[in-house]
Structure 1
Amino acid sequence: MRLAPLLALPPIALGIAAAVWMISSSEGPRQIEDGTPALPVRVETVNSRDIRPIAMAWGNLRAADTWIAVAEVQGEVVWHHPDLDPGRLIPAGTEVLRVDPTDYQLALAQAEADLAAFRAEAAQLTAEATNTTRILELERERLALAEADLARTRRLTEQGTAAQARADEAERATILARRTVAELENTLGLVPSREARIAAQTARTQAALDRARRALDRTILTTPFALRVTEVNAERFQTVAPGQVLIRADGIATAEVVAHIPIDSFRRLVSNLPGAVTLDDMMRDMPATQIDVTLSPLSDPTQDWPARVSRLEAALDARARTVPVVVTIDAPYAGADPPRRLPLVPNMQVQLAFVGTPLTRVITIPESTLHAGTVRVAGPDDRLELRPVTATFAQEGRVMISSGLAEGDRVVLDDIAPAIPGMALLPIETAE
C-alpha cells in the first residue's frame, strides 16, 4: 500500500523529459510577412506662393460731412425751399430758408446814414482847417503891420510929434491882431483831435455797418454742399431765435464707416511694408495706399462698393484689442436704383473686406488637413508621417504654415482613421 505512490513517479518523470526535449528541439513561430495593401489617399504637394492677407469687419455707415444749421438772427421765417423736408436731396449752394430781413435792412440803412454824416463832417473839418490856415496867414500879415505902426508911433510920440492917444490906439490895434492870430492858431491846433474823434466815430459806424450786413446775410440759409435733409425744425411764420437748430442734414458726397479690425489681423494687412516706414507714416498715409477695401451691405451682400482707408482713429480699443480703421466711400448715392441697388445711407450695416500687402513665399495647406497641430504627410517611402507644424492664420479655407513643412512635402488630404505612423500609402497627386 505504501509503495503505490512511488510506482507512479517513473512515468511522470518520463513525460516531463519528453516534453522538455520536444520544446527545445522544435522550430520557433513562423514570421508572416505583412501582406496589407497600401491605402490610396489624395495628396497635395506643398509649394510656396505669394498671398494677400484678408481681414473682414463690420460696421454702421455714417455721413462723412454733416450740416447743422443754427439760427444766428432773430425773426420770422418768411420762406423756405419746397424740398426742405426730411429725406430730400438738395444741391450745394441752394437757398433753403429766409428770415424776415426788415429789421436788419433798417439797421443797415441807419448805419449807412451815420457813416455818410461822419464822412461829411470830416470833409467839413478839412475845409474849415484850410480856410482857417488862409485867414491865419492874413492875420499874421496884419499883425506885422500893426506892430510896425506901433513902433513908428512910439518913436513919434517920444519925439513929441504925435499924441499919446495915437500911440495908445496903435497899441490896441496890435493887441487885437495878436489875439486874433492866437485864436486862429488855437483853432488849427484843435483840428487833429477833432479829426481823431471823427475817425473813431467813422470806424465805429463802419463796424456797425459791417455787423448789419452780416446780420442781413444771416437771414438767408444756403446749403454748403450737396446734402440729404434729415431734420427740419422751422416752418413759415415761425419766429426763430439765435442758437436754435433749424436744419440737420448729411452730405452725400462721401460716407464713412469705422471698422474695428483685430490687432493681429491689422498687423498682417500691413506686415510687408518697407522697413523705412515709420508708425507716423503708417497712421497717416500707408494704409490708404496699401490696403484695398470692398464694402457690401448686409441686407444685400451681392452689391459691391469700392472703398478706401482714409485714416486711423486716434486710439486703439485696448479692451477689444482692435484697430479702429476709418473707411471712406465716394459717391454713396451714385448708381442707386432702389430696390435693386440701394444707396449707402447712414446707419446701414455693412461688411468690409480688407486686402493687405502681399506676403511672399508663404506655405499654405487646406484647413481640413490640420489635425490638432499635426499634418499627415506621405513620406519619401510612401508611408504615413505625423508631422507637427506651426500655423499662423487661416483664410479662405487654407492655413498658413510658418514651420514644420517644406516645399515638395506631400500633404495627405483624406481623413485616415486610424492614422498609424508608418502605414503604407498609395499617394494620388491632386491639384489645388
Structure 2
Amino acid sequence: MKRSRILRLLPPLAVGLGIAAWLIAGSEPPVRVDGGVRSVTARTQIVEPRQVSPMLRGYGTVRPARSWQSVAEVAGAVTYRHPDLETGKIIPAGTRVLTIDPTRHEFALRQAEADLATLAAELNQLSVEAGNTDRILAIERERLDLAETDLERIRALVGRGAAPQSRLDEQERATLQLRRTVQELANTLDLLPVRQARLKAQIARAEAALDRAKRDLASTHIETPFAVRIGKVHVELHQFVTAGGALITADGIDRAEVTAQIPIEAFPRLVGAVTDGIDLETTDQEAVFARVDARLRLVSDQGQVWQGRVIRIENALDPQARSVPVVIGIEAPYEGAHPPMRLPLVPNMYVEVVLSGPPGPPEITVPANAVHDGDTVYLRDDQGLLSFRHIEIGWRQDGIVAVTAGLAPGDEVILDDIVPALPGLRVVPAKTTP
C-alpha cells in the first residue's frame, strides 16, 4: 500500500524538477553593479563676515509712569462730583472733579482776615502813640530844665537868707515831679519796641492762620494735576469725608513704563555697542541709551507695536532669573488708539520688549540649527563631500550664532541635518544663500 503511494508521487516530482532545470538554464546571469559614493541634497551657505546689530528680547508688564491718589486734606460733605468721574474715564489736567463743602473754611478765612486787620490797626496806633509820647517828652524835658534852673536860683536865695526854706522845699517837690514825669515818658518810649515786637509776632501768627485758612479753602476743590484715567472713586455726592480719607485713584496717561527682564549673558554686548568705551559714571546714561532702539509688541497680538526708549537700568539684578531689569518709557501710550485694530497701551498688558543697538564689527555668523552637538558644523568641502568642523561660539541671537574660531570666509556650511552624517558623503547643494 505504501509502495503504491510513493510510485504515484514520482511522476509529478520529476516533472517539477525538469521545469525548474529548464528555467534556470534559460535565464540570464545577474548584472554586476559597481559600488559608488552615496549622495544627499541639502541647503548650504557660504559664510562671510557681516555686521549684525545686537538684539535682545525681554518681557514685562506695563505700568503707568505716574499715578495719582487723591486724599482729603479737610473734612466736610461732598457738594460737587464731576459727571465723568467714573472708573475708566479719561479726564484732562486741571479739571475740578470734586468739591468739599467750603462754608466752614470761608468763615475761618474771614475771621483770620478780621484778626489780622485788628492787629494791623493796633500796630498803627502804637506808632502814633510813639510819636505823641516823643513830643510830650520833649516838652516835659524843657519844663524840667526850667524847674532845675529855678531850683538853683531859689537854693542860692535861701542860702543868703533872701527866701524862706519852704519855697525851696516846694520847688524841689515840683522839680522831682517833673523828673518823674520825664522818666515815665522815657520808660514808655523804651517799652514801645517791645510792644511793637509782640504785635508783629501776633500779626505773623494771624498771617499764618490766614494762609492756613486759604489753603484749607483751596483744598476743598479737588483738581486733576495731569491728564489721568480714573481707576477708582471712593466717595459719592453728599457723602461726608474725613481729613486723610481716600478720594480718587487714577493713572497718568502721558507716559507708560515697562521693566523688561533682559538675559544677563547677552546684555554686555548691547551695552558695549552703545557706549563704545564711554565711562558711564561720568556720562548722561539716558543720552547714551538713546542709541538703543526699543520696540514693544503685545504678546497676544504681535501686530500691535509701540516705540519706546530706554530711560534707566535699575540698580540690582533679579535674584531669581539673574536678569537685568531695564526700564522702557513709552510716550503718549493712548495716542492713535482705535480698538480693536489699535489698542492703547494700558497698565498690566504683558508685552515683549525688543532692544537693538548699532551694528558691531563684521563677524562670521551661521544659523543656530547648523550647529550640532553644541560645537560642530557640517561642511561641504572643495570636492563636494561632507566633513566635520569644531567651532567656538561667541554669542547667540535670534536663531544665529557668531563663530569666533573654526570657520573662515568662503567655507560652505551645510544648513540641514543629515542622517546618517558620514564623512565623505557627497552633498548636492539644494540652495545656496549668501
TM bracket (short chain): 0.7 to 0.9
CA deviations over 1:292-323 (Å, ceiling 9, x no partner): 11112223211211111111112101321101
Shift of residue 90, structure 1, vs aligned partner = 0.6
State the percentage of identical aligned residues.
48
Cα deviations by residue, 1:346-384 (Å, 9 ceiling, x for unpaired): 111212212133232111123332221211112233332
Residues 74-101 of structure 1: CA distance to partner in whole angstroms, max 9, x if unpaired?
Answer: 1111112111111111111111111111
Structure 1 pair 281/139, CA: closer, same or farther in 2 (3 Å)? Answer: closer
The equivalent of 1:72 in structure 2 is 73
213-222 or 361-370: bigger deviation: 361-370
TM-score (norm 2): 0.86
What residue number does 1:367 align with?
Answer: 368
In 1, the alpha carbon distance for the partners of 2:408 and 2:223 equals 67
Distance 1:186 1:48 in 2: 100
TM-fit CA distance, 1:47: 0.5
User: Is residue 284–residue 312 contact of structure 1 (8 Å, CA) maintained in 2?
Assistant: no
**Which residue in 2 is equivalent to 1:409?**
411
> CA offsets, 1:261-304, max 9 Å, x none?
11012223223344532354689336622321111222321121
Deviates more, 1:354-363 or 1:280-289: 280-289
In structure 2, the residue matched to 1:6 is: none
Residues 44-93 of structure 1 deviation map (CA, whole Å, 9 limit, x = unaligned): 21101001122222221111000000111111111121111111111111
Q: How is 1:241-260 mapped onto 2 (pairs within 5 angstroms)?
A: 241-260=242-261
What is the CA–CA distance in structure 2 between the aligned matches of 1:166 and 1:110, rounded to whole Å?
61
Once the 2 structures are TM-superposed, how far is the Cα of residue 35 of structure 1 from its aligned partner? 4.3
- How many angstroms apart in 2 are the aligned matches of 1:377 and 1:123? 104
Q: Contact 1:283–1:312 (CA<8 Å) still a contact in 2? A: no
SS at match of 2:50: strand
The 5 A counterparts of 1:389-408 are 389-408=391-410
Aligned residue number for residue 338 of structure 1: 339
1:251 to partner: Cα distance: 0.2
Q: Which position in structure 2 is the counterpart of 1:25?
A: none
Secondary structure of residue in 2 paired with 1:51: coil
**1:44 matched residue in structure 2:** 45
* 1:295 matches 2:296: yes
Q: Which residue of 2 aligns with 1:351?
A: 352
**Corresponding residue number in structure 2 for 1:388:** 390
Structure 2 residue 191 is matched with structure 1 residue 196: no
Change (3 A) 1:203 1:401: same
1:166-210 C-alpha deviation (Å, 9 max, x unpaired): 333322221221121111111112112111111111111111111
Question: The residue matched to 1:231 in structure 2 has which SS?
Answer: strand
In 2, distance between residues paired with 1:100 and 1:141? Answer: 64
Q: Write the distance in 1 (CA, Å) between the matches of 2:119 and 2:289.
A: 60
Task: Write the letter of the residue equivalent to 2:390.
Answer: P
Distance in structure 2 (CA, Å) of the matches to 1:53 and 1:310: 18
Tell me the equivalent position of 2:115: 114
Measure the CA separation in 1 of the matches of 2:283 and 2:389. 38
1:380-407 per-position Cα deviation (integer Å, ceiling 9, x unaligned): 3333211111234444443322221110
Give the CA deviation at 1:417.
3.2
TM-superposed CA distance for 1:235, in Å, is 1.5
Moved more, 48-57 or 132-141: 48-57
Structure 1 gap ranges (5+): 1-31
Q: How far 1:430 moved relative to its partner?
A: 1.1
Q: How many equivalent pairs are there?
A: 401
Contact 1:283 1:311 survives alignment (8 Å) = no
One-letter amino acid of the counterpart of residue 351, structure 2: V
In structure 1, the residue corresponding to 2:304 is in which secondary structure? coil
Partner of 1:149: 150
- Letter of the 2:196 counterpart: E
Letter in 2 for 1:151: E
In 1: Cα distance, 2:309 partner to 2:199 partner = 60
TM-score (norm 1): 0.87
Q: Is 2:185 aligned against 1:184?
A: yes
CA distance in 1, matches of 2:87, 2:39: 74
Secondary structure of 2:325's match?
A: strand
- Runs of at least 5 residues in structure 2 that lack an aligned partner in the other structure: 1-32
1:76 match: secondary structure? strand
- In the TM superposition, residue 40 of structure 1 has moved relative to its aligned partner by 5.4
User: Would you say the 8 A contact 1:95–1:223 is kept in 2?
Assistant: yes
Q: 1:349 to 1:413 in 2, by over 3 A?
A: closer
Does the CA-based 8 Å contact 1:287-1:309 persist in structure 2? no
2:333 is aligned with what amino acid?
P
- By how many angstroms is 1:132 displaced? 0.8
- Relative to 1, partners in 2 of residues 1:390 and 1:168: Cα closer, same or farther, differing over 3 Å? same
